[in-house]
Amino acid sequence: MMKWPAALAVVVGSTAGIVGVTALPSDAATTLTVAADGSGQYKTVQAAVNAVAANNASRATINIKAGTYREIVTVPSNKPYITLNGTGSGPSNVVIVNNRSNAGGYGTFGSATVTVNAKEFIAQNLTFANDYGEGSQAVAINMNGDKGIYRNVRFLGNQDTLLANTKRQYIASSYVEGTVDFIFGDATAVFNATSIYQKRSTGGPLTAARTPSSNTYGFLIYKCTITGRTNNTTQLGRPWGANAQVLFRESSLSATIATSQPWINMSSNSWKNARFSEYLNTGTGAAINSNRPQLNSSTAANYTPQKYLAGSDGWNPVG
């Protein structure tokens, strides 16, 4: 069990008599409540985030009651240690959703329903979604702050659902769905025991990493379950950046994987020049051939979740 600092809880929802929000002291342990039905302190998640003091030194927990929150949420870089905690019976009971898109003039990054710029952000037991539909990039979450943790979270969208944009991100026991490049970005990100679903009948690439050449680690898909709507149509990924690094390790790959060619090119970036590999995958989609580079056991010892996330401070959220 992970031990966190004393919680700062913010309840979103309006209560009779509450007119405004007063920021709490930066060193206060706080709990806030959000409720769409008005039974909490705030009705929107953003209002609760706004109530957290800038440069807070203690964890602020925002308990979100069951409901659908159609809004845009930004956690600024000067508000670290925020937890968004869904208090429903499961992640589908608390949904934060919007429908911005690149086609709508927001740009890919700006289309995000939720943007996290602060360090040590935690989300649990809720859903981040973009319901724009198909035809354009439309991001559900844009992860930027270092040491982000997402547990029991659903990420729903189509093209470009989950942007692991920078720093270190840990996604565990969660669910991600989309159509094209729906796990993408420059970050070092570990997906642990997570279900990944290709929802388009014609398939498409799951990942589009743009790992900087100076970074050893990009995306690790570890002990995950990969499924899709149709068979032999889904690619493991393509390189958004020429030096993209992606490893599918000890994961269950269903028949949705295009077994003969699971890595493809992107623009001028060749999958053969990218750092793409697999290790000890199982399932119908886990065939081994000349188009599927495999790590050996000696090399694999340096490509564990702990190695990906340790950085210079020894961070280990895997626990």
CA angle 30, 31, 34 (to 5 degrees): 140
Let me know how long the chain is. Answer: 319
How many angstroms separate the CA atoms of 237 and 201, rounded? 17
Name the nearest CA neighbour of 43 among 30, 62, 22, 57.
62
Query: Any catalytic annotation for residue 181?
Result: yes
Query: Any catalytic annotation for residue 313?
Result: no
Q: Which amino acid is at 260?
A: S
Give Cβ neighbours of residue 255 (< 8 Å, ≥ 6 apart): 231, 232, 283, 284, 285
How many other C-beta atoms are found inside a 10 Å radius of the C-beta of residue 109? 16
Provide Rg for the chain, Cα atoms.
Answer: 19
Q: Which residue has the tokens 């069990």?
A: 1
Name the nearest CA neighbour of 221 among 236, 199, 234, 205.
236
Tokens for 186?
A: 């420059």
Question: Considering 131, 181, 186, 313, which one is annotated as catalytic?
Answer: 181
C-alpha distances in Å from residue 297, one per residue of 119, 191, 280: 34, 20, 9
How far from each other are the two terminal CA atoms of the chain, in whole angstroms? 7
Q: What are phi and psi of 89, to 5 degrees?
A: -75, -15
Question: Considering 27, 160, 186, 313, which one is annotated as catalytic?
Answer: 160
What does the DSSP 8-state code read for residue 23?
A: P
Catalytic residue list? 160, 181
